[in-house]
Amino acid sequence: MCEVITIANQKGGVGKTTTAVNLAAFLATSEKRVLFIDCDPQANATTAFGIRRNEVQIDAYHVLSGSKKISQVIIRLDEIPYLDLVPANIGLAGFEKDFYSKKNNGQTMLRNKIEEVKNNYDFIIIDSPPALGALTVNALVASDSIIVPIQCEFYALEGLAQLLNTVKVIKDTSNPDLSIRGFLPTMFVSQHNLSRQVLDDLSQHFGDKLFRHTKKREEYIIVPRNVRLAESPSFGKPILFYDAKSSGSIAYQNLAEFILEGA
C-alpha cells in the first residue's frame, strides 16, 4: 500500500521543504520506493535534490494541468536509487490562476494523476507552498495524511487554527480519510526560553500529535536548529549525504523511523 503524505503549513519558512526532502531521502535509503512531488513554484525541494530550476522544462504544472502523465515528468535521481522526483519550476504558479479561472478539474487533479503511479511506490511525499491555495488544496485532497512542521519561534501556533480548519473542510467534502500524521517542532534551540515555551504549548494542546522516538517513547522527535541542515540544499544534497551524523540528520532519521513503524 502506498501512503501519500503532504508536508504543509501556510506559514513561510517553517521547515516544510527541509522536512519533505530529508524524510523522503531517509525513506528511500531504507529501500522504500518514494515519489517526491514538488508542488511549490519556488522549487526549493527540486534544487535541494540537486536539480537546477532552469534545467526543468516539464514539471508539476504539466501534470496538474493535465498535459502530461506523471511518468513523463519524473526525474530519476542517480544518487538516491529508490527516489523519483516530479520537479517544479516557477511556471507552476500558473496553476493557481487556472484554478480560479476554472481551466482545470480543480481540487482532484493531483489525486487523479497520482492514481496512475500509486502502485509503483511505497510513499509519495508532497512539498507544498506557504499558502492555503489551489496547490496545497490539491496536495491535501490527494493525501492520506499531513505532517505540519512548526517553527519554535514567536507566532508559531498562529495560523494553525486556519490550517486545521482547511483540513477539516477537505475531510468533510472531498477526502474523508485525510488524517494529521503529526506536528513536528523545527528549529528548536534548547537554550531559548521561547523554543521551550512553544514546545510546552504544543505538548499541552497537541501532545498526542507530536512524533515520538521509536526507541525512547517518552521523547518527542524535535528538529534542532542545525546549520548543516541549512547548508545541505546549497550542495544539492539531502542531509544524510552531506552530514549524516549532524543533529539535524539524526532528527529526520528518527522521523523516518517513526513513519516506517506505522507503515
Instruction: Give the footprint of Mg ion on this chain (CB under 5 A).
Output: 16-17, 44
Site of interaction with ligand ATP (CB under 6 A) = 12-18, 40, 42, 44, 130, 186-187, 223, 225-226, 229-230, 233, 248
Q: Which does 226 bind (CB under 5 to 8 A by kind): Mg ion, ligand ATP, none?
A: ligand ATP
Q: Which does 229 bind (CB under 5 to 8 A by kind): Mg ion, ligand ATP, none?
A: ligand ATP
Q: Which does 10 bind (CB under 5 to 8 A by kind): Mg ion, ligand ATP, none?
A: none
| Least separation in angstroms between CB 120 and ligand ATP | 26
The contacts of residue 185 (CB under 8 Å, 6+ apart) are 150, 152, 198, 199, 202, 210, 220, 222, 223
User: Closest by alpha carbon to 5, among 230, 181, 204?
Assistant: 181
| Beta carbon nearer to ligand ATP, 227 or 263 | 227
C-alpha cell at 23: 524524510
Q: Which does 182 bind (CB under 5 to 8 A by kind): ligand ATP, Mg ion, none?
A: none
- Separation of alpha carbons 27 and 2, rounded Å: 13
Would you call 94 exposed, middle or buried from its count of C-beta atoms within 10 A (0-12, 13-18, 19+)?
middle
| Beta carbon nearer to ligand ATP, 3 or 40 | 40
The contacts of residue 29 (CB under 8 Å, 6+ apart) are 80, 82, 240
| Beta carbon nearer to Mg ion, 106 or 159 | 159
| Beta carbon nearer to Mg ion, 20 or 167 | 20
Q: Which does 186 bind (CB under 5 to 8 A by kind): ligand ATP, Mg ion, none?
A: ligand ATP
| Least separation in angstroms between CB 22 and ligand ATP | 9
Q: How many CB atoms lie within 10 A of CB 177?
A: 8
- Separation of alpha carbons 15 and 18, rounded Å: 5
